Amino acid sequence: MLEFRQGHHQPGENMKITLDDVAKEAGVSRATVDRVLNKRGNVKEATVDRVFRALYSTRYLIEPEDTEKPPSSYIFDFVFPVAKTKYFETFAEEIKNFGKIFASMKAEVRVHTVVGFDPQVLADKLLEVGENTDGIAFVALDHPIVRDAVRNLSDQGIGVISLVSDISSQERLAYVGIDNRSAGRTAGLLMGRFLTASERKKVAVFVGSHSYRGHEEREAGFKSMIRERFPRFRVLEMPEVLDDDAKSLEHARELLAEEKDLACIYNVGGGTLGIAQALEESGHQDDIVFVAHELNDATRRLLVNGTLDAVINQDIKQEVYSAVDILLNYKLGDELMLGVQQPKVEIYLSENIY
């Protein structure tokens, strides 16, 4: 039997959270919350999802009745690429912030890094981590070597989740991240609406790497929206920038020098700061629409000063929490997606970032 005890609004901030608080957040009765937590059934799936979302948002912790917290029962590992941007460092920070919450779920969560864009290095790391783990979440490169490593881990009974970017492998348990094709189509729709009165005809798409399925899906979604709704525009394809600000700066400078009819730049991955620098250097930050991904301190500043027109974002906290939830469900033999909320495509403009 579980005892319902103190939770946290923010990691490290002590506040008394009750079942009534969770019920109010979910818009259900206290009895319904109790039934969901103790898996008594007779609760609609949509209601179960609302309750788990409320548990997540209120940081409600469930601990055993014993006064001494038992050691973690499961070890879960996250594997992130070392990128030129600091995007994946944010995931590591959130995992650290969630440490007490994960401990209450009987899970120890560890973080590993690998050199980016190298499938062999990634596959080797997955197999190495797999020697002592109960489950793995990783940012996937969709490559045969990586898929083979996932298959090997699955054969050993180790649950594997692709995070942020998916992999075409039937052996992985689940994908946690936004619908990247939808994100690309959203960027295309925003761009087209922004450019209703523009006479310019060219739009440029910057891609981090086609080895990321997520980047390919965003690019494909963007192009499909342009073909369907805004066929007067011509899409210019840029070289891969490998999420590197220096590379994106170099290619953006060349682009701006050569293309005088450029209306918009869409960056599907990292390297946003380099493109922004090139726009500001050339004085085109006000007359070329710029849409990119991921809201952070740097992109927030670019939205405020007008260099960036829109940011497509995903909730990192939710992705980290959901990945651990899925791995835990797998180990406990529960329904895999019980209580799991997939992140939605979020749109940020200068007026709604605070």
Kindly write down the DSSP assignment for every residue of 65-105, as one continuous string.
SSSSPPPPSEEEEEEEEE-SSSHHHHHHHHHHHTHHHHHHT
Q: Domain 74-177+316-343 class?
A: alpha beta
Residues 6+ apart with CB under 8 A from 94: 316, 317, 320
CATH 1.10.260.40 maps onto the chain at 3-63
**Helices vs. strands in the chain: H and E counts, helices first:** 13, 15
CATH 3.40.50.2300 maps onto the chain at 74-177+316-343, 180-313
% of the chain exceeding 70 in pLDDT: 91
Is the domain covering 3-63 a CATH 1.10.260.40 domain?
Answer: yes
Q: What are the b/e assignments for 132-141, b being 16+ CB within 10 Å? A: ebbbbbbbbb
Residues 6+ apart with CB under 8 A from 38: 1, 2
Q: Read off the pLDDT of each residue in 249-270 and give the average, rounded to a whole number.
A: 97
Task: Find out whether 319 and 164 touch, Cβ atoms under 8 Å.
Answer: yes
- Is the Cα torsion angle 241, 244, 245, 249 positive or negative in sign? negative
pLDDT-derived band of residue 52, with 50, 70 and 90 as boundaries? confident
Question: Cα separation of 165 and 138, whole Å?
Answer: 9
pLDDT, position 55: 79
Question: Cα separation of 268 and 220, whole Å?
Answer: 10
Name the more confident of 164 and 35. Answer: 164
Question: Cα separation of 163 and 295, whole Å?
Answer: 18
Shortest CA distance to 317 belongs to which of 16, 7, 101, 49?
101
pLDDT, position 15: 55
Q: What is the three-class DSSP state of 109? A: strand
Shortest CA distance to 87 belongs to which of 268, 250, 253?
268
Name the more confident of 204 and 101. Answer: 204
pLDDT-derived band of residue 72, with 50, 70 and 90 as boundaries? low
Q: Read off the pLDDT of each residue in 332-345 and give the average, rounded to a whole number.
A: 89
Q: State the fold for domain 180-313.
A: Rossmann fold (3.40.50)
Q: Does 84 score more than 90 pLDDT?
A: no
Question: Cα separation of 47 and 268, whole Å?
Answer: 35
Q: Which of 3-7, 168-172, 330-334 has the lowest mean pLDDT?
A: 3-7
Q: For residue 348, how many other CB atoms are within 10 A of its CB?
A: 17
pLDDT-derived band of residue 3, with 50, 70 and 90 as boundaries? very low
Task: Find out whether 61 and 101 touch, Cβ atoms under 8 Å.
Answer: yes
pLDDT, position 70: 47
pTM of the model: 0.81
Question: Cα separation of 33 and 342, whole Å?
Answer: 21
pLDDT-derived band of residue 297, with 50, 70 and 90 as boundaries? very high
Identity at 112, one-letter amino acid code: H
pLDDT, position 119: 97
Q: What are the b/e assignments for 170-191, b being 16+ CB within 10 Å? A: ebbbbbbbbbbbebbbbbbbbb
Q: Does 325 score more than 60 pLDDT?
A: yes
Helix (H) / strand (E) containing 113: strand 107-115
pLDDT, position 192: 96
Q: Which of 15-24, 102-111, 147-156 has the lowest mean pLDDT?
A: 15-24
